[in-house]
Amino acid sequence: MATEVTVPTLGESITEATLGEWLKQPGDAVAADEPIASLETDKVSVEVPSPVAGTMGEHKVQPGDTVNVGAVIASIEAGDAAPKQAEAPAPASTTSPQEQAAGPAPAPTPSEPTAEAPANVDAAALSPSVRRAILEHGVDPATIKGSGKDGRITKDDVVAAASAKPAAPAPTPAPAATAAPATGGERLEERVRMTRLRQTIAKRLKEAQDTAALLTTFNDVDMTAVIEARAKYKELFEKKHGVKLGFMGFFVKAACMALKDIPSVNAQIDGDEIVYHDYADISVAVSAPQGLVVPVIRDADKMSVAQVEKTIGDFGRRAKDGSLKMEEMKGGTFTISNGGVFGSLMSTPIINPPQSAVLGLHRIEDRAVVVDGQVVVRPMMYLALSYDHRLIDGREAVTFLVALKNAIEDPTRILIDL
């Protein structure tokens, strides 16, 4: 008897999703509550669990199809998976004596990658983007340790493995007399449908540009004090709190202090009204395989640096394996985006509607600056505040950045709320 698998409830106001990939193929054994497929919604990827134990049956829809909540997408057959067929014996040789005397045919050269995974890797467990990355970088998936959920390989794992792979020795150039004339290679194009998450990101960012009067103000900050504090206390911090001390904890707390001083940066426009918040729910931009997601640190102004670091670390881990929940990305009064982890020197971030401002952090680099009349080298970072000029004036934006800069350059201010 077959049990139908339906699309689960995805959250408030969400009625449909896109099938991302099948995690189980027809004939595979599945356990109760084991993920068999992933769905992509406007904000997160959601795994569909098997309602019963048994054997994976027919796929009713294909990756990329749009499915409604409650729709049947597959079936689970009762009983264990069918045993795999024994390997068929090698067919008798049909070559002639002359062909046998000539020796075996040459083996295919390894320079032509195929789309199949090695025998010890389950190709069905690899998403299309991962398989494509494996072919592009020429790495063996059997040598990659997956960081995704249940040890699945992600695209980031493939890129990391490719960068760690030693460079192949340069081939010995052939004599000029025997070199073949260069010919133009085939030019290929690939069309990939945008994921639902990417479509939503594009829509919301364009909406922000069309609706808000966007402006960006810059400042820079000397990171010396924070770097010294982090180096001095990072071991004790990790031993006590079980999490590494990073820079985001300092910036989140400094931003919360500045938001209290400049409440309009923490406000939003709702029709003809301005909504002010007496709390700071900080959205932090986190990179995920499917795109950028923005989970929210609730009541960040009431948290310690350790609590902030634990929350951000948890968000980062769950963003990679797609287990963030819908409600964790709703709301938010102010956003911090750290492009510095990717090497960005300067940028003009776009606000996350209906919020009115976003803080962009960038890479830290040594620069020559003048301190007390002397040219010295200091670790500097550019800060960028993009804001809706309809609500936030330039004076308020500059005042916010200066308050943030003062708190980072003198972290004692964060402790005494000054």
pLDDT in tens, 57-97: 889 888 878 888 888 888 888 765 444 444 444 444 445 54
Q: How confident is the model at residue 167 (pLDDT cuts 50, 70, 90)?
A: low
Say whether both 140 and 225 belong to one domain.
Answer: no
pLDDT exceeds 80 at position 231 = yes
The DSSP secondary-structure symbol of 4 reads E
Which residues, in sequence order, are bridge partners of residue 30? Answer: 54
Whole-number pLDDT of residue 290: 65
In a domain, 91, yes or no: no
Among candidate residues 33, 299, 389, 410, the one labeled active-site is 389
In a domain, 43, yes or no: yes
Q: How confident is the model at residue 127 (pLDDT cuts 50, 70, 90)?
A: low
Total structural domains in the chain?
3
In a domain, 87, yes or no: no
Whole-number pLDDT of residue 121: 56
Say whether both 144 and 209 belong to one domain.
Answer: no
Say whether both 41 and 133 belong to one domain.
Answer: no
Say whether both 258 and 390 belong to one domain.
Answer: yes
Mind listing the pLDDT tens digit for each residue in 30-41?
888 888 888 877
pLDDT exceeds 60 at position 318 = yes
Say whether both 213 and 290 belong to one domain.
Answer: yes
**For the ranges 66-70, 86-90, 207-211, 296-300, the one whose mean pLDDT is highest:** 296-300
Measured CA distances, 48 to 15, 21, 23, 152 (Å)? 15, 11, 9, 16
- Among residues 46, 77, 108, the one where a domain terminates is 77
Whole-model pTM: value is: 0.62
Q: 71 CB contacts (<8 Å, ≥6 apart)?
A: 6, 7, 61
Say whether both 372 and 272 belong to one domain.
Answer: yes
Range with lowest mean pLDDT among 1-15, 43-57, 291-305, 344-358? 1-15
Residues 21 and 193: their CA atoms lie apart, in Å, by: 13
Mind listing the pLDDT tens digit for each residue in 355-390?
999 999 999 999 999 999 999 999 999 999 999 999
Helix (H) or strand (E) holding 266: none
Say whether both 126 and 48 belong to one domain.
Answer: no
Tokens of 55: 């054997």
- Among residues 19, 47, 77, the one where a domain terminates is 77
* CATH code, 337: 3.30.559.10
pLDDT exceeds 60 at position 254 = yes
| Mean pLDDT value of segment 233-249 | 92
Domain carrying residue 33: 2-77
Measured CA distances, 353 to 262, 331, 332, 388 (Å)? 19, 10, 10, 10
In a domain, 237, yes or no: yes
Say whether both 27 and 121 belong to one domain.
Answer: no
Q: Is residue 389 annotated as a catalytic residue, yes or no?
A: yes
Say whether both 266 and 380 belong to one domain.
Answer: yes
Size of the chain, expressed as the number of residues it contains: 418
Among candidate residues 28, 220, 314, 393, the one labeled active-site is 393
* CATH code, 23: 2.40.50.100
Say whether both 406 and 330 belong to one domain.
Answer: yes
Coil, helix or strand at residue 108: coil
Range with lowest mean pLDDT among 63-67, 225-229, 334-338? 63-67
In a domain, 60, yes or no: yes
Whole-number pLDDT of residue 90: 47
Residues 317 and 337: their CA atoms lie apart, in Å, by: 17
Whole-number pLDDT of residue 333: 95
Mind listing the pLDDT tens digit for each residue in 90-119?
444 445 544 444 444 444 444 444 444 444
Question: Taking all residues of the chain, what is their mean pLDDT, rounded to a whole number?
Answer: 81
Residues 165 and 158: their CA atoms lie apart, in Å, by: 11
Say whether both 150 and 293 belong to one domain.
Answer: no
**328 vs 215 pLDDT, higher one:** 215
In a domain, 378, yes or no: yes
Q: Is residue 272 annotated as a catalytic residue, yes or no?
A: no
- Among residues 77, 106, 124, the one where a domain terminates is 77
